[in-house]
C-alpha cells in the first residue's frame, strides 16, 4: 500500500484518508484490555534515532509492539558528524539484519530519503532536520477530524516558527491534500522564502486571524532563535504571537488549540491555555500511537 513514508506530500487524498480511517480502527484496539494484534508477528521494525526524541521513539515502539512486531532501538546519535559509522554503513547493517521497516529520526533534512535509496525495507521519516515529520501531521489531522468531525473546509492556523518547523511543512501539505484551509501566522523572519507559492494564506497578525479559525496550532519556538535576531525578544514574541487566555477568547466557541509538544509553557502558549478543555495536547499523544500503528500496518501488514 505504502512503500515508504518520507514526506506528507507523498500521500494523495485517498491514501491519507485510508491511514486516518485505519488509525480509527487501531484506536479501538488500544481501548481493549489486550492491546495487541498479531498482524506484524515475525516482522522487524528498527527505530533508528540520530536525535533524542523519547516521545516519538516510544510512540513508534508502542505502535510496532501493539502489532506484535519485533522492535530494535538503535540510538545512533551524532555518529555521522563525529566521523563514526556513516548512515550508509548503518543502512547496510540494517539490511543485513533483515529490517522490514526503519523508522528514522535525523537532524539532517533528506536523511530519510537517502536511507530509502540504500535499503530494501520500508522507511518512515520520523523527523528529518527542518524538512518533515509526516506522522505528526497525520496524527494532527486525525485529532482534528476526531474533535471537529471533518477536515474538508476546516480553517487551520499554524502559528510560530514555520521556517524551522518540520511539523509545519508536513501539516501544510497534508492539510492541503485533505481540503483544509491553512493560514501561516508568524513574524516575516520565521517564514521561508518561497512561502508565497505554498497553498496557504500568510498573516503577520494573530489577533486578526483567530476569530475565523476552527483550529489553532501553536509551533515550537526555540529560544536560541533569539540570538540570531529572528525576533527582538521573548517578551515581544510572546506579546505578538503567544496564545494566552485573553487571546484564546477571540476564538470561536468550537475551536480547538493544538501543540505538537514539547511545549515551552509561557512563551508560545500559556499554561492555562495548554491545560484548557480546548487543548488537544494529551489526545495528540494518544492518537500518535494509533496513527503510527496504521502506517506500519499499511506498510507491512498481512503479507507474511
Partner 1 sequence: MTSSWIVSGTQVGDLFVRDGVFVDSEPADAQRIDATGLIALPGLVDLHTHLREPGREDAETVETGSRAAALGGYTAVCAMANTDPVADTAGVVEQVWRLGKDAGLVDVQPIGAVTVGLAGERLAELGAMATSAADVRVFSDDGHCVHDPVLMRRALEYVKAFDGVIAQHAEEPRLTAGAQMNEGDTSARLGLAGWPAVAEEAIIARDVLLAGHVNSRLHICHVSTAGSVELIRWAKSKGWRVTAEVTPHHLLLTDELVGSYDPVFKVNPPLRTEADVLALREGLRDGTIDIVATDHAPHTVEDKECEWAYARPGMVGLETALSIVVEAMAGTDDIWGRVTDWMSVTPARIAGLSQQGQGLRPGAPANLTLFDPSLTWTPGPSELMSRSHNTPYAGRELSGRVVATFLRGEPTVLDGKAQK
CB of 80 to partner 1, least distance (A): 6
**Whole-number Å distance between alpha carbons of 61 and 46:** 9
d(CA 12, CA 223): 35
Q: How far is the CB of 105 from partner 1 (least distance, A)?
A: 13
The DSSP letter of residue 126 is E
Contact string (CB under 8 A) for partner 1, positions 142-181, x = contact: ------------------------x--x------------
Of 109 and 276, nearer to partner 1 (C-beta) is: 109
Query: DSSP per residue over 233-300, as a string?
Result: -HHHHHHHH-B-HHHHTTS-TT-EEE--S---BTTTB-HHHHTSTTB-HHHHHHHHHHHHHHHHHHHH
Write the Ramachandran bin of 2: left for phi over 0, alpha for psi from -120 to 50, otherwise beta. Answer: beta
Residue 106 in the binding site for partner 1 (CB under 8 A) = yes
CB 44 within 8 A of CB 69: yes
List the one residue from 53, 95, 130, 276 that touches partner 1 (CB under 8 A): 130
Q: Helices H, strands E: what count in the chain?
A: 11, 9
Nearer to partner 1, 6 or 20 (CB): 6
CA-atom Rg of the chain in angstroms: 19
Name every residue whose Cβ is closer than 8 Å to that of residue 60 and which is 6 or more positions away in sequence.
45, 47, 103, 124, 126, 292
Is there binding between residue 193 and partner 1 (CB under 8 A)? yes
Of the two residues 111 and 217, which places its CB atom closer to partner 1 in the complex?
111
Q: Mark 55-94 with x for binding to partner 1 (rule: CB under 8 A) and - for no binding.
A: -------------------------xx----xxx------
The three three-digit cell numbers of residue 211, written as one number = 476569530
- Binding segment for partner 1 (CB under 8 A), chosen from 67-75, 188-196, 270-278, 284-292, is 188-196
CB of 85 to partner 1, least distance (A): 11
Position among 31, 38, 149, 194 found at the interface with partner 1 (CB under 8 A):
194
Smallest gap from Cβ 271 to partner 1, in A, equals 30
Contact positions toward partner 1, by CB under 8 A? 80-81, 86-88, 106-111, 113-114, 128-132, 166, 169, 192-195, 197-198
Amino acid at each position: 500500500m505504502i512503500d515508504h513514508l518520507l514526506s506528507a506530500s507523498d500521500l494523495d487524498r485517498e491514501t491519507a484518508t485510508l491511514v486516518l480511517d485505519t488509525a480509527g480502527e487501531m484506536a479501538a484496539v488500544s481501548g481493549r484490555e489486550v492491546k495487541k494484534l498479531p498482524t506484524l508477528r515475525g516482522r522487524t521494525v528498527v527505530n533508528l534515532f540520530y536525535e533524542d526524541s523519547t516521545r516519538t521513539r516510544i510512540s513508534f515502539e508502542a505502535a510496532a509492539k501493539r502489532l506484535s512486531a519485533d522492535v530494535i532501538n538503535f540510538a545512533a546519535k551524532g555518529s555521522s558528524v563525529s566521523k563514526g559509522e556513516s548512515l550508509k554503513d548503518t543502512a547496510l547493517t540494517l539490511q543485513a539484519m533483515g529490517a522490514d521497516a526503519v523508522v528514522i529520526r535525523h537532524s539532517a533534512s533528506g536523511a530519510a530519503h537517502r536511507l530509502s535509496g540504500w535499503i530494501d525495507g520500508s522507511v518512515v521519516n520520523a523527523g528529518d532536520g527542518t524538512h518533515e515529520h509526516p506522522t505528526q501531521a497525520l496524527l494532527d489531522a486525525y485529532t482534528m477530524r476526531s474533535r471537529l468531525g471533518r477536515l474538508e473546509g476546516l480553517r487551520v492556523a499554524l502559528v510560530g516558527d514555520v521556517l524551522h518547523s518540520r511539523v509545519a511543512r508536513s501539516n501544510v501539505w497534508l492539510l492541503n491534500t485533505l481540503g483544509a484551509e491553512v493560514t501561516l501566522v508568524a513574524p516575516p523572519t520565521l517564514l521561508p522564502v518561497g512561502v508565497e507559492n505554498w497553498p496557504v494564506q500568510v498573516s503577520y497578525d494573530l489577533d486578526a486571524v483567530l476569530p475565523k479559525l476552527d483550529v489553532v496550532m501553536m509551533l515550537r519556538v526555540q529560544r536560541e532563535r533569539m540570538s540570531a535576531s529572528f525576533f527582538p525578544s521573548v517578551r515581544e514574541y510572546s506579546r505578538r504571537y503567544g496564545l494566552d487566555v485573553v487571546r484564546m477568547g477571540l476564538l470561536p466557541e468550537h475551536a480547538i488549540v493544538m501543540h505538537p509538544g514539547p511545549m515551552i509553557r509561557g512563551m508560545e502558549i500559556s499554561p492555562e491555555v495548554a491545560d484548557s478543555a480546548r487543548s488537544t495536547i494529551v489526545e495528540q499523544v494518544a492518537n500518535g500511537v494509533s496513527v503510527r500503528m496504521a502506517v506500519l500496518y499499511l506498510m507491512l501488514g498481512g503479507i507474511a
